[in-house]
Structure 1
Amino acid sequence: MSNHVVNTDLTDGSAKLEEGGFFKQPRAVWAVFFAGIIAFMGLGLVDPILPAIAENLNATQSQVSLLFTSYNAVMAVAMLVTGTISSRLGMKWTLLLGIIVIAIFSALGGLSDNIWTIIGLRGGWGFGNALFVATALSAIVSLSNSGTTQAVILYEAAVGLGISVGPLLGGWLGAITWRGPFLGVASLMVIAFIGLITLMPKSNLSRKDRPKTSVLDPFRALKHRSLVIFGLTACLYNFGFFTLMAYAPFVMGLDEHGLGFVFLGWGVLLAFTSVFMAPRLQQRFGTVKSMSVMLFLFALTLLVMGIWTNEQWVVIAAVVFAGALLGNNNTLITAAVMNASPVERSTASAAYSFLRFLGGAIAPFLAGKLAEWFNPHIPFVVGAGFVLLSVVLIMANQHHVKHVDHAGSGH
């Protein structure tokens, strides 16, 4: 893999998407794609069962929100070592190791009866997910025969589909028992493992020929100010993202099926906009400007949820609408990070992901605590404030990040 960031400009991706070549990928790409959907299901799968877990295990909202905190905190730290592991094991075995870890910890979570045990096991699940997620993008780009642009869009499609299907499956299995989603992920991971080990080729490089990545590389990457700006922006944005994910289920007053359908609508919009709308926004308005507008609108959406928290239909509509904003922003910020600095792609992703998931680790627990300390409105208002700060950060550092809009053509 080259030592410079390859072109991940999305402006031609949406046009090529419709030509048909996008879908003519090697079987190995589709195996990683399918496994990616399952891995990203884990993010939203527990959403519809958060109230049920709290009720069945006599846990508070803030304790249940730690299921997201432990998952994201371990993911953040693990992102720093995934490159080192992958450079030694190779992409295929790193992906398979991630799948095995996810399957084991999700199965153990489904068999546990103690909230603190499950919180710890979700951390293990997060480690497996970090191994998988950090390697999946590189794998799809390397194995794809249609260029980096379309490979990135294919990866974002897997993210979107996983996030959208996860809550629906979680609601369906969760209505049977709260253990269902945990055991369901473990079962699906077995299928993903079989698909990957069968369809994904071995690396052409011998172990000694693979370039070794140091644990310190992501920290060295953070000397690039643009990468730090986007990482901190994502950290602040994730305060809002995970306030919505981890806290909104408690104020909607819906059962597992109802929550599953709300987050399905949210996820479908997220998937659609990340693949089809974000490239067009980038082409017309530029990455930085489009990202800033999407973040500002998301802050307003959270503020609306904070003001009308007691109006069920307002919260439901706001959650679904937020999916469109989040889908656009996820793709735009991924493209920006890939073009932000002259750092090898996986290293830049690891450094950025470390900062991003720190926000996702703090936000769920903070939201639950704010609701306990003050009232149900405050978590959304505080989340809106953090997202607004991310816009201020981008605007204040515009001259350090504006180059990402031109990186696609000459980087």
Structure 2
Amino acid sequence: MSAPHGKAASPFRQPKAVWAVAFACVISFMGIGLVDPILPALAESLHATPSQVSLLFSSYLIVTAVAMLFVGWVSSRIGAKRTLVTGLAVIVVFAALAGTTDSINGIVGFRAGWGLGNALFIATSLAVIVASASGGFSGAIILYETALGLGIAVGPLLGGELGGISWRGPFFGVAALMAVALIATLAFVPNLPKPERPTSPMAPLKALRHRGLLTMGIMALLYNWGFFTMLGYAPYPMKLGAHELGLVFTGWGLLVAAFSVFFAPRLQARYGTAPVLYANLLGLGIVMAVIAAGVANPTTVIVAVIVSGAFIGINNTLTTQAVMLVSPVERPVASSAYGFLRFIGGGLAPYVAGKLADATDLSVPFYLGAATFLIAIPVLASGHRMLHRAEAGTGDGEPVTPTLTPVGSPATTDAPPVVVAVGAHDTAAGIVDAAARLARDTGSPLEVVHVQQTAVVEEQAVETETDAAARTAVTAHLDRLTGLGIATTGQILTSVGDHAAAGRALARHAAEVHARTVAVGRSPRGPLTQFADGSFTTALTHAAACTVVLVAPDEDPRPLTAQALTELRNSAA
């Protein structure tokens, strides 16, 4: 979340370091979709069965899963840049080796090495982009989402084009493009500071002792089982060439990207995480059952696979969100534990599907995939109460979000305060000062609420600001206002992913302290992004019992009516 603040800056005006990693992200997100169009060609050229070819998914994902347990420890020891560079170099080497081999076993083995590089890369890429961004993290998140959508959509298309020339083409293509990304990363990404405290290599496994994280992780394992069954086996009954398969999975990828970035957050804000996941898992179960029943009809399979992209996009985003909502451990540790379980599910699925297909017929793996989607529903239901409490911001000792943490001395007056919400950005001080003038003119105390967020994008989560940095920012505001004769207190509002939920949380807090006014600045994120993940300001204005005003360093405060909100969105464009 970006807390409301100054005029929007283009998310594409970023340092070269951000562009270098974003380019690598595009290639990384191409990874799985890139090989789908060549699966039948691999089987034919190397005289392998579909079950043997499916092992290139299994080796890749199982190694990724195991490596996810250790990447946090590696990154905390050698630093984010070295981890990123190592991951890119490993991908380049093993993707090239996969293109040179003449056996399916060779490809399976080299894909395992590729999976190690993938784990090192995906565990650090979003964090490096956020840390390297200029003008706040909002633009970096938008750029990361853009890279994600581009990679998912273009991967199958490029795989189909290169695969139409040779099945080796996609492997060499990834190696060449990742080599460019590696050189750019070495040249432009600066060395980033290591964490103050190294992560224990056993921390992710220990984290799974927490019921909430384990429940959501098992749900993700079951979901990924069904997902990778479809991804690994659906190309065969389509009976298409590499180019046509590329077009089919491009349509699928476009839906994955659109529903992940634009629709999942809106559905979550409207209905809640758990209800959307229930409906989504049921929808995926139905789609998989349709593929199983119509496996002899290529058109049925093609349409069902493309439609599944919408459900998969929603699930990828909200499953990660659910994990972060209930997890009582640090975000990187939770991400590693969750990644381990979900990749294990994805890795085992193609292997089991191959054995089933060989022993029975091609419809059985899809029926099993449909069953795993449906079984995930009661697993999720067993953690429904924890997830609901976390989302609602209530609970008995359970982690909740959003949360408010006091900073500094409590107010010595019972007078209704003016509350101002800001984030970590260069115009925050001006907004706080403008709110302070409003508080002084009305004879009110001032409460500074600093908004700190864990950003969730697709299947990645990253803390955009440390607790220490957030506390320092609030303390700096309080120190600066000392001597102005205004009673000032501070709060840190911590949230996971959902901007609208943070706005509603601030509205609840304002009601509890009987706030006279809540002051906000302009959002930098623009109308498109606010549509995607919900507007902090809009949710706050609709939920607040008091007046919400827009403040700027050189402007008079103005009430945020419905008309003013519309003007604000238009000006952000």
**How much does 1:409 deviate?**
2.2
Mapped contact 2:37–2:160 kept (Cα < 8 A): yes
Match of 1:212 in 2: 198
Contact 2:215 / 2:382 at 8 angstroms: preserved in 1? no
What is the percent sequence identity of the aligned residues?
Answer: 50
- Structure 1 position 82, deviation (Å): 0.4
* In the alignment, structure 1 residue 82 sits paired with structure 2 residue 71: yes
Q: CA, structure 1 residues 39+281, in 2 after alignment: closer, same or farther (shift >3 Å)?
A: same
Partner of 1:194: 183
Deviation (angstroms), 1:143: 3.1
Match of 2:352 in 1: 366
Matches of 1:53 and 1:188, distance apart in 2: 22
2:346 aligned with 1:357: no
Match of 2:311 in 1: 325
Match for 2:233 among 241, 244, 247? 247
Output the CA distance in 2 between the equivalents of 1:151 and 1:73. 30
1:108-128 CA distance string (max 9 Å, x none): 010000111110110000000
Partner of 1:401: 387
In structure 1, the residue matched to 2:126 is: 137
Which amino acid is the alignment partner of residue 338 of structure 2?
Y
**What do residues 250-285 of structure 1 show as CA deviations (whole Å, max 9, x unaligned)?**
110000001000000000111111111111111111
| Alpha-carbon distance in structure 2 between the residues aligned to 1:163 and 1:27 | 23
The residue type equivalent to 1:278 in the other structure is A
Deviations 1:304-327 (A, max 9, x none): 111111121111111111111111
Q: Quick one: which of 108, 118, 123 aligns to 2:97?
A: 108
Measure, in 2, the Cα distance between the counterparts of 1:114 and 1:262: 27
SS in 1 for 2:256: helix
Q: Assess, with a 3 A threshold, how the Cα gap between structure 1 residues 229 and 45 changes in structure 2: closer, same or farther.
A: same
Superposed displacement of residue 158, structure 1: 3.0
2:70 maps to 1:70: no
- Structure 2 equivalent of residue 289 of structure 1: 275
Deviation, structure 1 residue 197: 1.7
Looking at structure 2, the residues matched to 195 and 59 of structure 1 have their Cα atoms a distance apart, in angstroms, of: 38
Query: In structure 2, what is the Cα distance between the partners aligned to 1:273 and 1:22?
Result: 21
Distance in 1 of aligned mates of 2:331 and 2:36: 31
- 1:164 and 1:268 in contact (8 A); partners too: yes
* Corresponding position: 1:124 with 2:113: yes
The residue aligned with 2:260 is: 274
Q: Secondary structure at the match of 2:326?
A: coil
User: 2:500 — aligned with what?
Assistant: none
Residue 366 of structure 2: aligned partner? 380
TM-score, with length taken from structure 1:
0.91
The one of the two structures with greater contact order (alpha-carbon pairs below 8 A, sep at least 6) is: 1
> Are 1:262 and 2:255 matched, yes or no?
no
Equivalent in the alignment of 1:44: 33
Q: Which of the pair is proportionally richer in strand?
A: 2
Aligned residue number for residue 3 of structure 1: none
Structure 2 CA distance for aligned equivalents of residues 64 and 177 of structure 1: 16
Give SS of 1:402's match. helix
SS in 2 for 1:399: helix
State TM-score, norm by structure 2: 0.66
Which of 150, 153, 172 is the matching residue for 1:183? 172
CA drift of 1:96 comes to: 0.7
Counterpart-to-counterpart distance in 1, 2:190 and 2:147 = 20
Aligned residue identity for 2:61: N
CA gap of 1:377–1:111, structure 2 versus 1, over 3 A, is same
Q: Quote how far apart the aligned CAs of 1:244 are.
A: 1.0
Q: Which structure has the greater CA radius of gyration?
A: 2
Q: Indicate the residue corresponding to 2:489 in structure 1.
A: none
Out of 261-270 and 214-223, give the one that drifted further: 214-223
Displacement of 1:404 in angstroms is 3.8
The CA distance in 1 between the partners of 2:280 and 2:227, in whole Å, is 13
Match of 1:31 among 20, 25, 28: 20
Tell me: CA distance 1:397–1:327, structure 2 relative to 1, closer, same or farther (3 Å): same
In the superposition, relative to structure 1, how do residues 46 and 397 fare at CA in structure 2: closer, same or farther (>3 Å)? same
CA deviation profile, 1:226-246 (whole Å, cap 9, x unmatched): 111111111000111101110
Shift, 1:149, TM fit = 6.8
Q: Is the 8 A contact 1:88 1:210 kept in 2?
A: no
Q: 1:306 to 1:177 in 2, by over 3 A?
A: same
Paired with 2:320 and 2:174, the residues of 1 have a C-alpha distance of 26
Tell me the matched-pair count: 396
Distance 2:132 2:76 in 1: 16
Deviation at 1:337, TM superposition (A): 2.0
Higher mean C-alpha deviation, range 362-371 or range 261-270: 362-371
Q: Distance in 1 between matches of 2:101 and 2:247?
A: 27
For 2:299, the aligned partner's letter is W
Structure with greater proportional helix content: 1
Partner Cα separation in structure 2 for residue 348 and residue 153 of structure 1 = 23
Amino acid at match of 1:323: G
Residue pairs, 1:93-104, within 5 angstroms: 93-104=82-93
- Separation in 2 of the partners of 1:273 and 1:146? 27
1:164-214 Cα deviation digits (max 9, x unpaired):
221111111111111111111000011111221222121245xxx742111
Note if contact 1:156-1:331 (Cα within 8 Å) is conserved in structure 2.
no
Is 1:222 matched up with 2:211?
no
Residue in 1 aligned with 2:544?
A: none
Once residues 147 and 330 of structure 1 are traced to their aligned partners in structure 2, the CA distance between those partners, rounded to angstroms, is 25
CA contact (8 A) 1:29 1:140 kept: yes
Unaligned 5+ runs, structure 2: 393-399, 404-493, 495-573
Which segments of 5 or more consecutive residues in structure 1 lack a partner in the other structure?
1-7
CA RMSD of aligned residues (A): 2.1
